[in-house]
Amino acid sequence: MRYDLNLLPIFIALMEERSVTRAATRLGITQPALSNALNRLRDTLRDPLFIRERYGIKPTQFAEEIAPLIAETLSRLDEVLLGRQHFDPATTTRQFNVAPNSYVEIVLMPRVFAKLRARAPGVKVSLMPFGTDLAETGVISGTTDMVIGRMVDPPDNLIVQHLMDDGLACVVRADHPDIADSISKEQYERMRHVNVLPPGRMRVGLFQTLKQRGLERELAISVTHFLAVPEIIATTDYCATLPRLVCDQIAKDTRLKILPAPVDLGTFPVDMAWHVRYRHDPAHQWFRQLLVETAAEL
């Protein structure tokens, strides 16, 4: 019996998205085209495969049973075919879809872009939202090439590599009336603070660290991106606790001063993760090495 291999990625997209609309968008085809492909799948496999529900579609028991086999088959095909491709960074026009958290976006990615301009000028990079969990980034399905940030309980189909570690420091305005060259624990707890709430698991990281170190904060303002902090700090008597590499970037602003935290707040990890199907992709391997090299320079 002959099978149309083009239908298998459609099956996987429907399994992962649980929505005809989202699966069609992900695959770059129209909904009628996807529905037609699904009908052909049903005829071939002699099963309804997906049942309509109020908020999407639900796979049948048979679809649940064969999904791991189809996913593994496609992954192995990808590894074989991608591994045979020749890759020349100087001439490639490959596009990489990357989901960095907001910290990585401002600390690491500009340096990566500078290296790409010199070594692979035809490469295109699209930055995707980091999201509230790994599923939202697209990395679990493989539609996003990699995710960079803090990895917590990644699924088995992701390969995770540690990139770097960073610490934390405090930022106040340069002419703060109460703070000179250091901040004591009492001053830190007495001040009002600007808090950064990026999406993802980094959201709870600083709160947990402060609790473990016995530090308390009175929050005045919460923002969603590190780049919102300098203007707020420069015009208030507030304090912000930020990653050291972010502090290094904003230290050029003469309105601000960077000080050690009142207690050692330790470090936090930065990792990158990618779908197993890209393990032997020469272009992907080259881009991963570029990220490792850039992180090592930091």
Q: What is the mean pLDDT of residues 181-208?
A: 82
Looking at per-residue pLDDT, the higher value among 47 and 73 belongs to 47
- 187 — pLDDT class (breaks 50, 70, 90): very high
pLDDT higher than threshold 90 for residue 195: yes
Q: Is residue 210 part of a domain?
A: yes
pLDDT higher than threshold 70 for residue 243: yes
Domain that holds residue 273: 95-165+269-297
Q: What is the mean pLDDT of residues 199-212?
A: 69
The predicted pLDDT at position 117 comes to 96
Q: Is residue 1 part of a domain?
A: no
Residue 133 CA: distances (Å) to CA of 138, 208, 213, 286, 297 = 10, 18, 27, 26, 28
Give the CATH number, domain containing residue 34. 1.10.10.10
Q: What is the mean pLDDT of residues 270-298?
A: 92
Q: Based on the structure, what is the number of domains in the chain?
A: 3
Count of positions (residues) in the chain: 298
Q: Are 283 and 165 in contact (CB under 8 A)?
A: no
pTM of the model: 0.73
- 295 — pLDDT class (breaks 50, 70, 90): very high
Query: 211 and 175, same structural domain?
Result: yes
Query: 181 and 120, same structural domain?
Result: no
Q: What is the mean pLDDT of residues 210-215?
A: 88
Q: Is residue 65 part of a domain?
A: yes
Query: 259 and 179, same structural domain?
Result: yes
Q: Which of 35, 57, 83 is the last residue of a domain?
A: 83
Query: 284 and 257, same structural domain?
Result: no
Burial class for 24, CB neighbours closer than 10 Å (0-12, 13-18, 19+): buried
| Rounded Cα gap, residues 140 and 12, in angstroms | 12
Query: 148 and 28, same structural domain?
Result: no
pLDDT higher than threshold 70 for residue 85: no
Q: Which amino acid is at 9?
A: P
Q: Is residue 181 part of a domain?
A: yes
**Per-residue pLDDT reduced to its tens digit, 93-123:** 999 999 999 999 999 999 999 999 999 999 9
Supply the angle between the helices 282-297 and 61-83 in degrees, to the nearest 10: 80
